[in-house]
Amino acid sequence: MGMLLPALLLLSAGNGFSVDMRDDDLLTLPTTSTLLGCECSGTCEALARFNCHSHNVCPVKSENCQKGTANFSKTLGYYDYCNFEANQDYEQLSAQQKHALVMDKLRADTTLGAYPSATGVLTGLLSESVKLSFDTSADVMPEGRRKEIHTTGVVGAIKFSAIGAAAGGASEKYTGLFRGAEYGIARLTSAAMPGEGQATTDGITPGMGFKFFRDGKPSVNAFAMFKLDGQQCSLNNFFANIWSNHVQPEKSFGLTVVARKFFQASFCPQMVGLRDLATYDDQGRPAGAPKFPFRLEFQPLVKAECPCEDYAQCMSNIAKFPVGTALFNVFAESAPGMPAELIGQFVLTSPMKPSKFGDERLFFQHQYMEDDFKVHPEWLAQINKKQDCGFDEVTTVRPPISQGCHSPFVTVKNNTKKSLQISLGLLLVIIGCPVLCVCCLALGCALYWCGALGERGARTLEDEEDEEMDEDDIEKEPE
């Protein structure tokens, strides 16, 4: 891998790379490591017995690891929790080079993909680790991971044109990429197939994932949506509403299950953090003490007819925007309750197009809101935690892996065999999918969440640090 960087630097010319197998090598994550520095001897996967699918685990070759002794279980033998590290050969490239490399992949196959069924989304999400979406530093999906939501859309190159005080803006208040970024990618999708998983059967859930590349540093990513329940199809405009990196609570059953799954990773999953956007500029220069806003607001400057009965046409209409189109005015709310101020625009630097690579492999890392609260703990006292985050016990600390079976929704403890309950719940969901059995789906999801999350709902974080987990129930996390 070490010889790839000089070779690719010689291949780079202007704004692009030649696409060859070496590009595939660069866009593949390194061999998976583990939190204790062990070497996996098998596949990384999320399992119910190991903290309720909260983090991928793998069997390891030896109990003696670089950072300690691996844990032992009756089912896997010696094991550890998987860690997907950044590909350093790739990250050493300039922002321009990484941007060109990814864009070449995005343009290789412009086939529009298809959505999985709504019930298939539930079974997929319940049995995978959402922590990987937060902890993986990469521009491609982690090994064995697939997109369950936002699966089909269009993608294109963008830049963030900062607007400072001289032009009536406030971008100077913040650091890093808030001062401007030339090499970005935005992907526009509906979270679910129009009409599925919405608050009503007549809806679409527009949203955007975006990333900006930095010289010698991993890309920085964020998301924006109107709300999880989406908007009515009768609006017939993909950009009918203002979007934000803080989304409103959901009402539909399916989206409630999806949102609650994300509590295994963050106790404030309705917000996406912005701190990383402020740490370095696009040339990789550190910002010192990062200055970033509490919330971003994306006010659309364009319209695109979006017939829910013809999603392909909706995406095709977005693809008609020419290079140079300003998609959004970006506003920043410096602190909770403060007025939003204009800081810049998202401007297209390439057309939006469908992309097989974008639908299947392009990865946008989630940013912990807890990291933002750690810098600004005063914000916690200025928000309604239950309403704004979904959980009133959110703090400046990320939930640990061992908290994967802790439920913020169930407070009754029982002593039944939870792994059996989890498995039965998943089985009922799987059975219910092809036959659309509402009772099977509802009972299956209820069993899964009561089993996976209910057993330890009454325990506090402090209690769990002092209590030893029963190996017949949930396997232990490494110290």
Residue 379 and residue 413 share a domain:
no
- Decide if 397 is inside a domain: no
Is 362 inside a domain boundary? yes
Of the residues 361, 389, 417, which one is the last residue of a structural domain? Answer: 389
Are 339 and 413 in the same domain? Answer: no
Residue 353 domain-assigned (yes or no) = yes
Asked whether residue 181 falls in the same domain as residue 134, the answer is yes
Specify if 340 maps to a domain.
yes
How confident is the model over 224-241, as a mean pLDDT?
A: 90
What do you get for the CA distance between the two ends of the chain, in Å? 32
137 and 110 in one domain?
A: yes
Residue 426: predicted pLDDT: 46
Among candidate residues 394, 362, 332, the one with its CA nearest the CA of residue 163: 332
194 in the same domain as 60: no
pLDDT digits (tens, 9 = 90+) for 309-322: 898 999 999 999 99
Residues 172, 43 share a domain = no
Query: 323 with 175, same domain?
Result: yes
List pLDDT tens digits, range 412-428.
334 344 444 444 454 44
The total domain count for the chain is: 3
The better pLDDT of the pair 33, 66 is held by: 66
Of 22, 49, 83, the residue that ends a domain is 83
User: What does pLDDT average to over the chain?
Assistant: 79
pLDDT (0 to 100) of residue 86 = 82
User: Do 375 and 411 share a domain, yes or no?
Assistant: no
* Model pLDDT for residues 115-154, shown as the tens digit of each residue: 655 555 556 666 778 788 888 888 988 766 666 667 789 9
Band of pLDDT at residue 439, cut at 50, 70 and 90: low
Q: What is the mean pLDDT of residues 268-280?
A: 95
Residue 21, pLDDT above cutoff 50: no
Distance CA 348, CA 186 (A): 9
CB distance 138 to 32 below 8 Å: no
Report yes or no on 396 lying in a domain. Answer: no
Looking at the structure, tell me whether residues 307 and 222 fall in a common domain: yes
Question: Residue 437 pLDDT more than 80?
Answer: no
In a domain, 398, yes or no: no
Is residue 177's pLDDT more than 60? yes
What are 51-64's pLDDT values in tens digits?
888 888 999 999 99
Higher pLDDT, 389 or 428: 389
Q: Is residue 398 pLDDT above 70, yes or no?
A: yes
- Residue 18's pLDDT band (cuts 50, 70, 90): very low
**Model confidence pLDDT, tens digit, residues 159-172:** 999 999 989 999 99
Q: Are residues 59 and 108 in the same domain?
A: no
Using 50, 70 and 90 to split pLDDT, how confident is the model at 457? very low
Do 349 and 100 meet the contact criterion of CB atoms below 8 Å apart?
no
Kindly state whether residue 467 falls inside one of the protein's structural domains. Answer: no
Same domain? For 160 and 35 the reply is no
Q: Does residue 383 sit within a domain?
A: yes
- 338 and 444 in one domain? no
- What is the model's pLDDT at position 194? 79
Report the range of poorest mean pLDDT among 213-227, 245-259, 395-409. Answer: 245-259
Q: Region 266-276: what's the mean pLDDT?
A: 93
- The torsion region of residue 151 among left (phi > 0), alpha (psi -120 to 50) and beta comes to alpha
d(CA 330, CA 345): 5
pLDDT at site 50 = 86
The C-alpha atoms of residue 186 and residue 222 are separated, in whole angstroms, by 10
Range of the domain at 78: 4-83
Q: Average the pLDDT over 78-100 and give the result.
A: 91
